[in-house]
Amino acid sequence: MMQITVYTARAVRTMEPALPLAQAVAVCDGRIIEVGSLETMQPWLQAHPHTIDKRFRDHVIMPGFIDPHLHPSMAALLLPMHFTTAMEWRLPWQDVPATRGHNEFLDRLKQIDLSMADAEEPLFAWGHHPIWHGEVDRQTLNGISATRPIIVWHRGFHTLVVNDATLDWMGLDEAEADRHPQVNAAEGRFYETGLSLAFRYFNPYTLAPKRFTGGLERLRQVVHHGGHTTIGDMAAGMFDLDMEWNALVKVLEQDDTPFRVQMIPPGTPLGGELKDTAKLIERTVGLRQRNTHRLRFYDHVKLFADGGFYAGLMQLGLPGAIDGSIGEWMTPPETFVAVARAYWNEGFKIHVHCSGDLGVELALDTLEKLQWERPRFDHRFTIEHFGVSTPEQVRRMAALGALASVNIYYVYELGDAYWKHKLGYERASQMSRLGTLARHNVPTALHTDFTMAPALPLNSAWVAANRISENGLVMGPEECLTLDQAMRAITIDAAYVLGLEHEIGTIRAGKKADFTVLEQDPYEVGAENLREIPIWGTVFEGQPFPIKTER
């Protein structure tokens, strides 16, 4: 027996060009039956029992937002920490204000220290950045607390600074630690490879199951709070597949979790050389046997080209970096081609992490080679991140049928820093070149790579449509998306990148009843106000989930 629920709304923004605006959407068993008005859907309503739910009469219904690339496990590590960031972060349990200036940073640490009930509990603070906060060292942190271990972690994850109490807690011999070329014990500083030495002591604490599932619980709130109904875990099992999978199922496969997670596993071990492709494919395919209702592996796989963008390890083409540094390859190029070929020939949809233009070049040279060897239509080969690129590469992407999934937040957070320290203005202002992608009709999604950017799709769309950096400068206005393109990039085009456009991403009969319910209409408030729109909550597979703040 069908039981239909009709949600009426001030506006239903379907994102379907054939019927962009409607007043009601009828839902049954988690699927959309019809979209239109109460009048047009009468034949359904006369044929089946139904209720009219008017709770959204002052709201705007949109397709559920999608972030095709974030990292739940990384978030689970980070979210139990205290945020002391130079940028503001809106988290479900608190609005983290921007902390700027050395004294303000120290005050914030003091305030956190005082707020913690247990005097022994280590204080992990994430978000320190010398450009904003000045240098801190062991002595500075001793001034905050002589007894509580305090660990200050750099925003870009390359450096840790600790106080005396932390060294005691770690039981690390100072002279011993000092021998490491990337540890300065006197300053309490661990950086780059020195971090591993610190993690040797911290991991048992930060990766303890209880803390990790607590972090995942917070991630669950973050994802809901941003208005998502689908996310992609774009390197599922990055630390330890079994540990992560068990925690993910335990925390997320619950009736009250209002989103699904598409699991995209890394296709080859990082840094590894390829020996046995058949075994590799078999392992990747075998992951699907784990699938549950919300957590699903499928025919998508993640590969890695060059090093990370925040870490400054991207591979740049000419003229390179201002400081002359060369980046890294996460996969040797020959291995990359061989692994990509193996998945390509098995019909996989391949997502490639590419930070710099030389990384993009490797991905596109590979795609061209594979197309030549064994042509495929509709292959969904996707360039992920897309920090630095050239206009010619975009044209080539269009010719080869590649898609883009872009971290636009680089422009906001790194625009100024990379202008001055890494790339110069011309290339820094054209990072994440969305406008060129749109002009070449390359299907383009926005992602946050959370925790590399706040998991707030409306915030991503706002940066995409305005390209305003954290200091208020407009960076590369020609590379802006229009409002509609930006909204597509967090709904239907994100669904397309995940290969789920037939199920989600727009509101039309037959698709999953996933909605994001807004207090204002993006098409009325305009591009410049997108990030201010309050979110009422979501509807996931027909069931409403209002956002309850924990504050």
Partner 1 sequence: MIPVTVIGGYLGAGKTTLINGLLRGTHGRRLAVLVNDFGAIDIDARLLADHDGDTISLANGCVCCTIADALGDALNKVSAMRPAPDHIVIEASGVANPAKIAMYGQGWPGLRLDGIIVMADAESVRARSEDKFVGGTVRQQLTAADLLVLNKMDLLTRDQCDLVRQWLETQAPDGRIATACHGDLPASVLLGQIAAQDRRYQAQGDGMARHDTYRAVPFRTARPLDRIRLGLQIASWPAGILRAKGLVHIFDDPGYAYILQLVGARYTLEKGPAWGKERPVTEIVVIAAAADLNPGFLESSLLSACL
Task: Point out which residues bind partner 1 (CB under 8 A).
Answer: 173, 176-177, 179-183, 192-194, 196-197, 199-200, 269-273, 275-276, 315, 326-329, 331-335, 358, 361-362
Q: Are strands 183-184 and 189-191 parallel, antiparallel or unpaired?
A: antiparallel
Q: Which is nearer to partner 1, 88 or 273 (CB)?
A: 273
Neighbours of 3 (CB within 10 A): 11
Cα torsion angle, 32, 34, 39, 45, sign? negative
Coil/strand/helix, residue 483: helix
Q: Which is nearer to partner 1, 111 or 203 (CB)?
A: 203
CB 336 within 8 A of CB 305: yes
CB of 427 to partner 1, least distance (A): 18
The conformational region for residue 499 under phi > 0 = left, psi -120 to 50 = alpha, else beta, is: left
Residue type, 448: T
Minimum gap (Å) between residue 323 Cβ and partner 1: 14
Minimum CB separation from partner 1 for residue 333, in Å? 5
Least separation in angstroms between residue 151's CB and partner 1 is: 17
266 upstream amide cis, omega within 30 of 0: no
Nearer residue to partner 1 within complex by CB, 44 or 153: 153
**In the complex, least distance from residue 182 CB atom to partner 1, rounded to whole angstroms:** 5
Smaller CB distance to partner 1: residue 268 or 460? Answer: 268
For the record, the structure tokens of 95 come out as: 């609005």
Distance between CA atoms of residues 225 and 89, nearest Å: 12
Contact 514, 541 (CB under 8 A): yes
Nearer to partner 1, 366 or 485 (CB): 366
- Cis amide bond preceding 319, omega within 30: yes
What is the rounded CA–CA span in Å between residue 73 and residue 291?
A: 18
- Least distance CB 79 / partner 1 (angstroms): 23
- Comparing CB distances to partner 1, the nearer of 29 and 174 is 174
Taking the complex as a whole, the smallest distance from the CB of residue 203 to partner 1 amounts, in Å, to: 9
Between residues 204 and 375, which has the closer beta carbon with respect to partner 1?
Answer: 204
- Looking only at the bridges linking them, the beta strands covering 123-128 and 50-53 are unpaired
**CA pair distance 481, 406, nearest whole angstrom:** 12
Tokens representing 20? 């962009």
Shortest distance in whole angstroms from residue 177 CB to partner 1: 8
Q: Which is nearer to partner 1, 182 or 529 (CB)?
A: 182
